[in-house]
Amino acid sequence: MARGQVDRRRPSILSYLRETAAEFGIDKNIRYNTKVVGADWSTEDSRWTLTLADGGQVTCGFLYSCSGYYDYGQGHDPGFTGVDDFAGQVVHPQFWPEDLDYSGKRVVVIGSGATAVTLVPSMAREAAHVTMLQRSPTWISPVPSSDKIADLVRRVLPAGIAHQAIRLKNVAFTLGFYQLSRRRPQVARKLLTALAKRSLNDDQLVAEHFTPAYDPWDQRLCAVPDADLFASLRSGEASVVTDHVDTFVPEGIRLASGKVLPADVVVTATGLRLLVFGGIAPSIDGVPVALNEQFVWRGAMLTGLPNFAVCIGYTNASWTLRADLTSRLVCKVLNWMDRVGHAAVVPRPERKLSPRPLLDLASGYVQRSIADFPHQGDHAPWRVRQNYFIDAATTLRTDLSRTLHPVEPQRV
């Protein structure tokens, strides 16, 4: 999301978070400015000991990692040559300078993912010109910024029912297009290409810069509200170039084709880095656990790690859909442990699993790091499905006693 959009929405989002945390008393149990750098499970005590960056420690009986899977300390650096020779300013979106002034300047945004397609139209309003430089095209779909169907539903139904109806409608639409893309990729290609042509009114531009070689949803699909990216291109405020970076030069970027893109500001929207559990390397009784040898149960708990859960959202839908299911599953597990008297449990498969990547996407940022992550299996409940409706129907109905096994404390 572009900085301007974040600034406009930040007050309402922050207000909602604060009010919700206060309503349920969560705010009293938050330790701010605290970074966890290590986690060790004691089999004897059936407890986790967390090591903090300031040298302190916290213990807990159950650890739930909700840090996501991105590296917030650094983004992906392709290692461009000649950066030090560039006379302008180089910015990475992950570390956006508070005082960045690009008004009236020539901007080049390197990349074509969600960050790039959001930044380009936002910056084009103030910059002299913005060029989106991409190595290869990305599937991009225009979407309306306002939902007329949702607005109608809110007018005719009570708030609670309207919210549920709108949510189900949005999930069904997203999942439906995802399934179409996986099962009938040529149909999905035609639909997205037709939308791009209608928005740009330039078939050649679409063919050169907005027709990827891969099928939709082999990588994540980018959505542009009200086709704002395409509007910037039509107006001439922005342009797109498909080429490779050869080297930075004082006046801008020299491409593999030999062309030089003049720039005063270069934004390297070159992607993110994945990081398992925020960089925490869990251990058992002081012995590190090889995370890439473990399997994920119900998209939440891991083999080899007692009383440990992780929150991983969907790749094809809102993150919060699975986050909500996983959190309710964790509550179900905790209540079940109290009821049956288990101090610690760990998931174990009933039969051999064939490993599959946890995130089944061809995106570069996934492929660069996915080997460090735990695996998903080849059958339920070890498959990490990308289907909210199936998960919603099955996750909380699972028989915990079949897969979760007690871990007895060691007595000296």
| Domain boundary pick from 222, 252, 268 | 268
Is 78 a domain residue?
no
Whether 35 and 97 map to the same domain: the answer is no
CATH of the domain at 315: 3.50.50.60
Task: Write down the pLDDT at residue 35.
Answer: 92
Is 154 a domain residue?
yes
* 3-state secondary structure string across 66-135: CCCCECCCCCCCCCCCCHHHCCCEEECHHHCCCCCCCCCCEEEEECCCHHHHHHHHHHHCCCCEEEEEEC
- SS3 category, 314: coil
Whether 64 and 107 map to the same domain: the answer is no
Whether 55 and 182 map to the same domain: the answer is no
Whether 257 and 143 map to the same domain: the answer is yes
Task: Write down the pLDDT at residue 298.
Answer: 96
Whether 326 and 389 map to the same domain: the answer is yes
| Domain boundary pick from 268, 287, 303 | 268
| Domain boundary pick from 207, 233, 268 | 268
Is 187 a domain residue?
yes
| Residues of the chain below pLDDT 50 | 1-7, 412
Is 179 a domain residue?
yes
Whether 90 and 117 map to the same domain: the answer is yes
Is 77 a domain residue?
no
Task: Write down the pLDDT at residue 411.
Answer: 56
pLDDT tens digits, 317-356: 888 999 999 999 999 999 999 999 999 999 999 999 999 9
Please tell me the distance from the alpha carbon of residue 222 to that of residue 228, in angstroms, as a whole number.
12
pLDDT tens digits, 349-388: 999 999 999 988 888 888 888 899 999 999 999 999 899 9
Is 180 a domain residue?
yes
Task: Write down the pLDDT at residue 9.
Answer: 64
* 193, 138 contact by CB (below 8 A): no
pTM for this prediction: 0.87
Is 3 a domain residue?
yes
Please tell me the distance from the alpha carbon of residue 108 to that of residue 96, in angstroms, as a whole number.
15
Whether 137 and 172 map to the same domain: the answer is yes
Whether 305 and 230 map to the same domain: the answer is no
Whether 40 and 25 map to the same domain: the answer is no
Whether 64 and 24 map to the same domain: the answer is no
Please tell me the distance from the alpha carbon of residue 158 to that of residue 388, in angstroms, as a whole number.
24
The domain in which residue 158 lies consists of: 83-268
Is 412 a domain residue?
no
The count of domains in the chain is 3
Whether 129 and 165 map to the same domain: the answer is yes
Whether 101 and 222 map to the same domain: the answer is yes
